């Protein structure tokens, strides 16, 4: 059987649960997510719109501050520090990608208001396994594993992509679940050597349709595609979905009866990244006792 992992459905379940939890407490509209955007990246504009919609869905406040590409480092820091001090702001993110001269400004977000989990303090907690805030995309991927009962214990997971947003935190989060992790990247020699031994492949390289069935063997039970690319105006992932599914169908015809899982693009990982941002925002708000109960 081939199962398409439905991120949209799971994201909606997360929103319903968050709404239910928020209804039980008197939060007096005190939960506020601030998104700081610098520049006018087209994809970021879309992601931020989705984050706003998600906040509205669960009934928390959303503020979006947008600055020009040539914002000075000191001015950006000063703004973050001002927002850190706002008592009703419970979550802050700096939308990536950033202009090069501003790389690292997210480190000035207070760790207790960091809802991306990108600050050194929150990443350090993830390294040691004492984390509460996991970066939103890896956290969403863990939700999928959990929802579809995909046990990570002892599994060979190959992660393709070593970004601070996805690859590295994903490796730590999966390691904390007792998986064996290999991180591959653009300088990896003979990528197929690694993917051919994988039980699970997580792809986050930003190259449309790059990973196809030629990278896989019958061992592979699950493909998680983090990519969001546009080809001829149409969204597609980093994996060649149709080619992989066809390969799996052929395996089934030749007697391989295992269940295999794959995320679609869109509707796979993407909605869960946003849902986990909202979930992290609620978690941080509860931690801060901004909410009466
Ligand atoms: N850009 C793409 N994904 C993310 C994310 O999870 N957080 C932030 N801040 N920027 C992103």
Cα atoms found within 13 Å of the Cα of residue 117, Cβ hemisphere only: 30
pLDDT of residue 30: 83
- Report the C-alpha gap between 212 and 245 in whole angstroms: 10
| β-strands 229-231, 234-236 pairing | antiparallel
Domains of the chain: residue spans and CATH: 27-109 (3.40.50.10860), 136-269 (3.40.50.720)
User: What phi and psi values does residue 280 have, to the nearest 5 degrees?
Assistant: -65, -35
Q: Which residues are catalytic?
A: 51, 95, 116
- The rounded radius of gyration (Å) of the Cα atoms in the chain is 20
Ligand 1 atom nearest the C-alpha of 44 is 1
Separation of CA 276 and ligand 1 centre (Å): 11
% residues pLDDT > 90 (the chain): 93
pLDDT of residue 29: 72
Q: Which residues contact ligand 1 via a Cβ below 6 A?
A: 93-96, 116, 136-137, 165, 273
Ligand 1 atom nearest the C-alpha of 97 is 1
Probe residue for ligand 1, chosen from 113, 114, 116 as the CB with the greatest number of ligand atoms within 8 Å: 116
pLDDT of residue 225: 98
Separation of CA 288 and ligand 1 centre (Å): 23
Q: Which residues of the chain have pLDDT under 70?
A: 27-28, 289-293
How far is C-alpha 288 from the geometric centre of its chain's CA atoms? 23
Which residue intervals of the chain are DSSP H helices? 7-24, 42-58, 73-84, 120-128, 136-147, 167-175, 191-195, 241-253, 270-287
Which residue has its alpha carbon closest to ligand 1 atom 4? Answer: 96
Separation of CA 36 and ligand 1 centre (Å): 11
pTM score, two decimals? 0.96
Which residue has its alpha carbon closest to ligand 1 atom 1? Answer: 96
Separation of CA 165 and ligand 1 centre (Å): 7
pLDDT of residue 289: 54
pLDDT in tens, 97-152: 999 999 999 999 999 999 999 999 999 999 999 988 999 999 999 999 999 999 99
pLDDT of residue 79: 98
Buried b (16+ CB within 10 A) or exposed e, 178-205: ebebbbbeeeeeebeebbbebbbbbbbb
């Amino acid at each position: 059987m081939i199962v398409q992992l439905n991120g949209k459905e799971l994201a909606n379940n997360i929103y319903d649960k968050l709404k239910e939890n928020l209804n039980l407490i008197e939060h007096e509209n005190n939960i506020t997510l601030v998104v700081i955007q610098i520049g006018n990246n087209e994809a970021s504009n879309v992601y931020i719109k989705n984050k706003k919609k998600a906040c509205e869905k669960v009934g928390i406040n959303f503020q979006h501050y947008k600055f020009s590409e040539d914002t000075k480092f000191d001015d950006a820091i000063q703004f973050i520090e001002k927002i850190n001090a706002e008592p009703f702001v419970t979550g802050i993110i700096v939308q990536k990608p950033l202009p090069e001269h501003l790389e690292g400004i997210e480190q000035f977000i207070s760790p207790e208001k960091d809802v991306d989990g990108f600050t050194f303090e929150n990443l350090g907690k993830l390294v040691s396994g004492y984390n509460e805030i996991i970066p939103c995309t890896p956290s969403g991927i863990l939700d999928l594993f959990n929802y579809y009962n995909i046990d990570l214990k002892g599994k060979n997971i190959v992660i393709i992509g070593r970004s601070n947003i996805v690859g590295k935190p994903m490796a730590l989060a999966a390691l904390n679940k007792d998986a064996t992790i290999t991180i591959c990247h653009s300088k990896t020699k003979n990528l197929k050597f690694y993917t051919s031994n994988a039980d699970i492949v997580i792809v986050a390289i930003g190259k449309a349709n790059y990973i196809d069935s030629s990278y896989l063997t019958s061992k592979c039970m699950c493909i998680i595609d983090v990519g969001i690319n546009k080809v001829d105006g149409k969204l597609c992932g980093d994996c060649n979905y149709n080619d992989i599914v066809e390969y799996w169908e052929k395996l089934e015809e030749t007697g391989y009866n295992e269940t295999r899982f794959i995320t679609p693009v869109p509707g796979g990982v993407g909605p869960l990244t946003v849902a986990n941002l909202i979930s992290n925002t609620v978690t941080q708000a509860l931690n801060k006792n901004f909410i009466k109960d």
